[in-house]
């Protein structure tokens, strides 16, 4: 607000809306760094999970004593849940990458307009829930692979594909960390948006 010569107050509006971080004064740098680190770790966790899922493959010969033997290959494409997790981490990694680049290019995570703030808020929410759904589905499938489901006659496959199961378990755990980073980032973007009103 600026006092004009006629004594009236007129609201000053720049080309962008002031971010909540700027309103915090001395805490802005700390808040900006926190948001950058969340985006960066979200990117790294998603890339790591993506790599582990995409490269996870194991071929094993399964022998049934007194009967027969057959060769089977376990890979992520054998399950829709793991394919879903691969796609979710790829989307989230791409989104986080552009956020980090934008942050570095503009020297701060400052959203220019309310419409852009809405877009960031919606994207953060959508990708957080997408990741959450993907890791939840993959966790249940991993549990069945490890322990089976005796009532349905499903035996545990990790007895035969131990390396595949271990690598996928690590990938799912890392994807959970990425989900946490995105969830906290979504809280920040919500605060950034609704503090404008």
**pLDDT 10s digits, 147-178:** 766 666 566 778 888 899 999 999 999 999 99
User: pTM (2 decimals)?
Assistant: 0.77
**Per-residue pLDDT tens digits for 87-135:** 999 999 999 999 888 888 876 655 567 788 888 889 999 999 999 999 9
Element (H, E) at 156: none
9: Cβ–Cβ under 8 A, 6 or more apart, which residues?
Answer: 1, 2, 3
Which position has the higher pLDDT, 21 or 132? Answer: 132
Query: What is the C-alpha separation between 45 and 85, in angstroms, rounded?
Result: 13
Can you read off the two tokens belonging to residue 51? 């790599």
Max mean pLDDT range (8-17, 18-27, 147-156): 147-156
Query: What is the C-alpha separation between 65 and 36, in angstroms, rounded?
Result: 56
Least confident of 53-57, 65-69, 155-159, 160-164: 65-69
pLDDT of the residue at 58: 87
Burial pattern 164-190, b for ≥16 Cβ within 10 A else e, equals bbebbbebbebbbbbbbbbbbbbebbe
**DSSP H helical ranges for 75-161:** 80-106, 114-147
pLDDT of the residue at 173: 96
């Amino acid at each position: 607000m600026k006092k004009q010569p006629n004594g009236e107050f007129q609201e000053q509006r720049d080309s962008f809306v002031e971010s909540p971080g700027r309103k915090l004064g001395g805490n802005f740098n700390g808040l900006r760094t926190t948001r950058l680190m969340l985006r960066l770790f979200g990117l790294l966790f998603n890339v790591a999970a993506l790599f582990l899922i995409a490269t996870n493959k194991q071929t094993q010969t399964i022998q049934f004593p007194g009967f027969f033997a057959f060769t089977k290959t376990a890979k992520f494409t054998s399950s829709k849940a793991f394919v879903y997790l691969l796609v979710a981490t790829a989307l989230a990694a791409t989104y986080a990458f552009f956020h980090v680049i934008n942050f570095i290019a503009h020297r701060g995570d400052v959203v220019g307009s309310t419409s852009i703030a809405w877009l960031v808020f919606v994207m953060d929410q959508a990708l957080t829930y997408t990741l959450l759904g993907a890791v939840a589905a993959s966790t249940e499938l991993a549990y069945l692979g490890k322990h089976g489901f005796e009532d349905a006659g499903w035996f545990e496959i990790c007895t035969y594909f131990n390396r595949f199961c271990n690598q996928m378990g690590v990938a799912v755990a890392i994807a959970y960390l990425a989900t946490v980073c995105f969830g906290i980032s979504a809280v920040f973007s919500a605060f950034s948006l609704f503090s404008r009103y």
